[in-house]
Amino acid sequence: MEFARYWHYDGFGGLDLMRAQFVRHRFARHSHETYAIGTVEAGQEEIKFADGVHRVGAGEVVMIEPGVVHTGEPHTADGWAYRVLYPGVELVREVADELGVPGETPSFERRVVADARLSRRVVAAHRAAEPGASLAADTELHALLACILAAYGTRRPQHRAETIGRRRMARVREVLHARMPDPPGLAELAAMAEVTPYALLRSFRRAYGMPPHAYVTQLRVARARELLRRGVPPAEAALAAGFCDQSHLSRHFRRFVGVPPRAYQRAVQ
């Protein structure tokens, strides 16, 4: 049996959380603007990153940084049950500053760790936040982030060539953000970046983990989430975000978020 509960926690600076059990559901290739920190409670999940595949079992913890493209699907017929929370960059940076962990965007040494103590902390923080904002929940969430950063926080330096390539692709990314409902074609984007279309596809995917058209779909889902949070009806949110209709939005929304648009809207309002 599949279920998913998604909600927003107002305390501790505000963050989203999800508890779910998936048997057949498969997440599309996507990334988050926030961190994603979770633990598997039962079963086994398979997560594909650009540089490899991780199979995450019960008691293991996943730590995914903002912008890291990944998928998620069951590794066995029984699927997997897990808890995940999505702290924003500012929130994680504040805790990192307290600990002296360097970097504008703190990174992790590993994405998946077999750390039973940390797994218990994820569950404890998650359960504390379920009833709503409280001093106990704020304390548990702060303790969780501090524990993760102290044990696995680091900073990855960028090489100069990589930085230059990312700047060029960043210009393309800015255009996609600005013209998200009706983005330019591949040839126009390539001309803006002063590269060939093939080089653009290769470089953009290397920088952001997916080709431009898939990136635009993710942007549209993110825009729809923002509108749904404001109370905009799903049908209107779909058109405003550049989808053909509500069913088009619903199909992509669940592949990226894990729950349908209406369920998401009820959870975050």
| pLDDT tens readout for residues 64-75 | 999 899 999 999
Mean pLDDT value across residues 86-114: 85
Say if residue 141's pLDDT is above 50: yes
Mean pLDDT over 148-158 rounds to 77
Please tell me the chain's helix, strand, coil percentages from 3-state DSSP, rounded to the nearest 5.
45, 25, 30
Q: Let me know if domain 3-154 sits in CATH 1.10.3720.10.
A: no
pLDDT tops 60 at residue 259:
yes
Q: For the chain, which residues make up each domain, given as ranges?
A: 3-154, 160-268
Query: For the residues 147-173, what does the mean pLDDT come to?
Result: 73
CA angle 109, 115, 118 (to 5 degrees): 90
Global confidence as pTM: 0.78
Residues 6+ apart with CB under 8 A from 245: 235, 238, 239
Q: What percent of the chain has pLDDT over 90?
A: 63
Q: What pLDDT is recorded for position 160? A: 46
pLDDT at residue number 41: 97
- Mean model confidence pLDDT for the chain: 89
The CATH class given to the 160-268 domain equals: mainly alpha
pLDDT in tens, 200-255: 888 888 888 888 988 999 999 999 999 999 999 999 999 999 998 999 999 999 99
